[in-house]
Amino acid sequence: MAGKFSDEELLKQNLVLSDALDQPNIIHHVPEGVALLSIINVYRHKAYPKTKVRCAHCGRTNHRDGFTALLASMNRVLLGSTCGAEAYGASWNEAMAIMEGKRDRQYELKMLGRAEQVLRPFIRAVNSWAWKIDKFDARRRTFETSYGAVHAKLFGAMRVSDGVLSIDVRVRDYAAETMKPNDGEKWKMETRPMGRLAGGGFLEPDAFTPTIDAALKAAEKYRAIIGKSEGIPTDRMARLRRDFERKAEALRHVYEVYDGRDDFFSPRNLDLVIAWLNEVGHRNAFTREGNTLVGMRIRFGMEDMADLNPEPLDLLEEFKRGS
């Protein structure tokens, strides 16, 4: 019975009504001995509670949400889900399962229709990211391999203290001295923050290129079924859609980190990094020239790196708004 409609026909069916009463051949009781053919729509009665829908089984008018059943007599009856099961037993549950299957499939077909608008420009825009992210990955890798110990310390601060760079200083412990005034001077170690690192995503050890590749691949795989849905099971369509959504969503992090590159390489931030490194045992590892970090072996800057086009993320939002 599920295969009764083509995808094209299914797309046109109105499976969710906002006015339950706006349909032909409604009768308001369940007739004896007339079989249930199918459940043809779900209603979410919009005018509730101004106008109420009377359940054909129990006669109560407290339903806002319910189902339209088509009977062998071609009449339609409106029922709540519990009452439908009471009136029709197993055939109701069977009809419900078919209805749910149709709704799921219609949803996927609608999303695939949106994908047709979105995927081509999405793929084009993500491709425009690829070489920039490649270059960004290479620069981050160079920093990590050239300055492993420095990188580890900075990245450690990112993870442990959310980017707050602090140093341990030795200070007089006046409280202890007051308690034991005859013992002389007492000292203790105190952690003192110097500032918060900006744009610290630059230090993330993982490459971003695989995230780009995965998003492109998922988009291409999803695009491949556009116009070819007939015969493809609904759950496979849903899997391809969710895979696209998830992998496209992962681009947001890449975008944010890339977007934060100028924060990391701002003079204020570089000065903080250099000052902190001087305090924690990497004295004179770096100096700064404008927005460039200058080390013994290599210079790091981002001024040659053009912005990313935010279009892939906008297109993803547009696509998901339909759900």
Identify the CA nearest to 245 among candidates 109, 120, 131, 119. 119
Q: Nearest distance from residue 48's CB to Zn ion, in Å?
A: 14
Q: Nearest distance from residue 57's CB to Zn ion, in Å?
A: 5
Nearer to Zn ion, 80 or 199 (CB): 80
**Cβ atoms 265, 292 nearer than 8 A:** yes
CA 112 to chain centre: 18
**Cβ atoms 135, 207 nearer than 8 A:** no
User: Residue 157 and residue 197: Cα distance in Å, rounded?
Assistant: 9
Angle of CA points 38, 35, 91, to nearest 5°: 55
Burial tier of 67 (Cβ tally within 10 Å: 0-12, 13-18, 19+):
buried
Nearer to Zn ion, 87 or 308 (CB): 87
Q: Is position 83 an interface residue for Zn ion (rule: CB under 5 A)?
A: yes
Q: Nearest distance from residue 80's CB to Zn ion, in Å?
A: 4
190 has which bridge partners?
169
Q: Nearest distance from residue 253's CB to Zn ion, in Å?
A: 49
Q: Is position 80 an interface residue for Zn ion (rule: CB under 5 A)?
A: yes
Respond yes or no on whether the N-terminal peptide bond of residue 49 is cis (omega within 30° of 0): yes
> Which residue's C-beta sits nearest to Zn ion?
55
The binding track of 167-186 with respect to Zn ion, each residue x by CB under 5 A or -, is --------------------
Residues with Cβ within 8 Å of residue 88, at least 6 apart in sequence = 36, 69, 95
Residues with Cβ within 8 Å of residue 103, at least 6 apart in sequence = 15, 16, 42
Identify the CA nearest to 55 among candidates 17, 99, 86, 14. 86
Q: Nearest distance from residue 29's CB to Zn ion, in Å?
A: 11
Total binding residues for Zn ion by CB under 5 A?
A: 5
Q: Nearest distance from residue 7's CB to Zn ion, in Å?
A: 33
The binding track of 8-47 with respect to Zn ion, each residue x by CB under 5 A or -, is ----------------------------------------
**Cβ atoms 286, 295 nearer than 8 A:** yes
Chain residues 55-74 in contact with Zn ion, contact rule CB under 5 A: 55, 57-58
Nearer to Zn ion, 83 or 315 (CB): 83
Among the listed ranges 52-60, 90-98, 141-149, 277-285, the one in contact with Zn ion (CB under 5 A) is 52-60
Helix count (H) and strand count (E) of the chain?
11, 9
Among the listed ranges 21-29, 79-87, 147-155, 215-223, the one in contact with Zn ion (CB under 5 A) is 79-87
Nearer to Zn ion, 26 or 225 (CB): 26
Among the listed ranges 48-56, 125-133, 152-160, 225-233, the one in contact with Zn ion (CB under 5 A) is 48-56
Among the listed ranges 50-58, 104-112, 194-202, 246-254, the one in contact with Zn ion (CB under 5 A) is 50-58
Q: Is position 214 an interface residue for Zn ion (rule: CB under 5 A)?
A: no
Among the listed ranges 51-59, 98-106, 109-117, 249-257, the one in contact with Zn ion (CB under 5 A) is 51-59
* Secondary structure class of 150 (helix, strand, coil): helix
User: Residue 276 and residue 153: Cα distance in Å, rounded?
Assistant: 10
Q: Nearest distance from residue 20's CB to Zn ion, in Å?
A: 13
User: What residues make contact with Zn ion under the rule CB under 5 A?
Assistant: 55, 57-58, 80, 83
